[in-house]
Structure 1
């Protein structure tokens, strides 16, 4: 009924783009941050919200996204410190600028995907364990403001990554930590991801099933399959039809 193999007893959900449309506002925040930064730099084209977003920042911890995108343009900045102001020309400063813009967009209103809510409700009814796994430090704010916290038993997020020294996606550390907290083995858990780095993390961790979520189209489904997704759907409730 849930489109999963029988051996799966737990679901590990990414947040942005899987449970909530925060991927859209993350994209807007990244685009504005990098476009402002690149403006005036000779020979630098604007940030591409499809290719640059998918290749360099989607699903990654904030500072890693900054580093990887800047490296793709041949730009190196000082690391700075976590409390750098958002106008600082450092990796941390750019990351803080992006987060400042993101929080503004979240406050303007955010609703979870209805299909994802239906799937969470069905998973809870079926007795499957449920966790949210995200690199975002704003995960708690998002799940509580959208009411998703009532369906989720465990949260592993950007704060957890810093506290425990976990590697971010595409390393499997965060998913492995969530599975451990739920008391299941990786083989007993399904990973739900819309980012290539997240699907790669699910594959690298030896998880029992990896669901790719393709909400953007434009060939992204093929990229998710190539990264290791066992199945790709446009919305989670499509799995309820199986």
Structure 2
């Protein structure tokens, strides 16, 4: 087995891919849904507390507080940045409930509506790279915090290019900590039958890169879709590319 021509050290035997922003063009869909949900909430909060409304920044706030994290963790993280604390509530909360779970349900409903309306596009370079890794005999997993991961993979037409899926549904069922903890990546490597030291992690989120480094994986690739190459390197990426196709040698 060789990983030559794929931008990887020769000892790498498996590739662990994040979904949104790495394989599929859904990060912008999530960012837009977070903004719509938080802006609606923040307007009401500002009115109730006599404060000035300051909206959710779809780039800075998204990258800093929610990108790559489980939905509830991202919600808490951003609210804490604004000095707001809400009760967690429960998984059966309605999207109108003033709870962490309620806000998460509202955001998820928005994401699903946008996906069903507009569809899902994979990155062409990522599809080429997935096929190249398969041809090289490398095992492949998707590791995502999203509970919609399976639907997105099917909608994008790339579900057949991956051997293992560890997503938000699996993490909840197994009680796995979300990114930046390395637990979901460890679980994927275990299912593929390789130690972390022989697996590569592909991430566009700072929290995801941190999880790859914390898990002592053999190689961490940062995928810079939004101009944060320096931050990806700072958080632990061994190499940073704009697109996975850059890692493929030759025509």
Pick the TM interval, shorter chain: over 0.9
Q: Which residue of 2 aligns with 1:9?
A: 13
Distance in 1 (CA, whole Å) between partners of 2:114 and 2:53 is 26
Q: TM-score, normalised by structure 2?
A: 0.94
User: Aligned runs of 1:59-138 on 2, under 5 Å?
Assistant: 59-108=68-117, 109-138=119-148
User: Aligned runs of 1:225-240 on 2, under 5 Å?
Assistant: 225-240=233-248
Distance in 2 (CA, whole Å) between partners of 1:208 and 1:124 is 19
Q: Which residue of 1 aligns with 2:59?
A: 50
Distance in 2 (CA, whole Å) between partners of 1:146 and 1:115 is 14
Structure 2 spans left out of the alignment, 5+ residues: none
Q: Which residue of 1 aligns with 2:229?
A: 221
Alpha-carbon deviations, 1:86-122, whole Å to 9, x = none?
1111000000000000001111211100000000000
Q: Which residue of 2 aligns with 1:179?
A: 189
Distance in 2 (CA, whole Å) between partners of 1:130 and 1:144 is 16
Query: Is 2:174 the counterpart of 1:164?
Result: yes
1:147 deviates by: 1.3
1:216 deviates by: 0.9
Distance in 1 (CA, whole Å) between partners of 2:87 and 2:195 is 40
Distance in 2 (CA, whole Å) between partners of 1:44 and 1:77 is 18
SS of 1:241's equivalent in the other structure is: coil
Structure 1 spans left out of the alignment, 5+ residues: none
Distance in 2 (CA, whole Å) between partners of 1:146 and 1:34 is 27
1:83 deviates by: 1.2
Distance in 2 (CA, whole Å) between partners of 1:182 and 1:124 is 13
CA RMSD of aligned residues (A): 0.8
SS of 1:39's equivalent in the other structure is: helix
Distance in 2 (CA, whole Å) between partners of 1:170 and 1:60 is 7
Distance in 2 (CA, whole Å) between partners of 1:78 and 1:228 is 33
* Deviation >3 Å, runs of 4+: none
1:169 deviates by: 0.3
1:2 deviates by: 0.3
1:146 deviates by: 1.2
Distance in 2 (CA, whole Å) between partners of 1:147 and 1:49 is 27
SS of 1:95's equivalent in the other structure is: helix
Query: Is 2:30 the counterpart of 1:26?
Result: yes
How many aligned residue pairs are there? 240
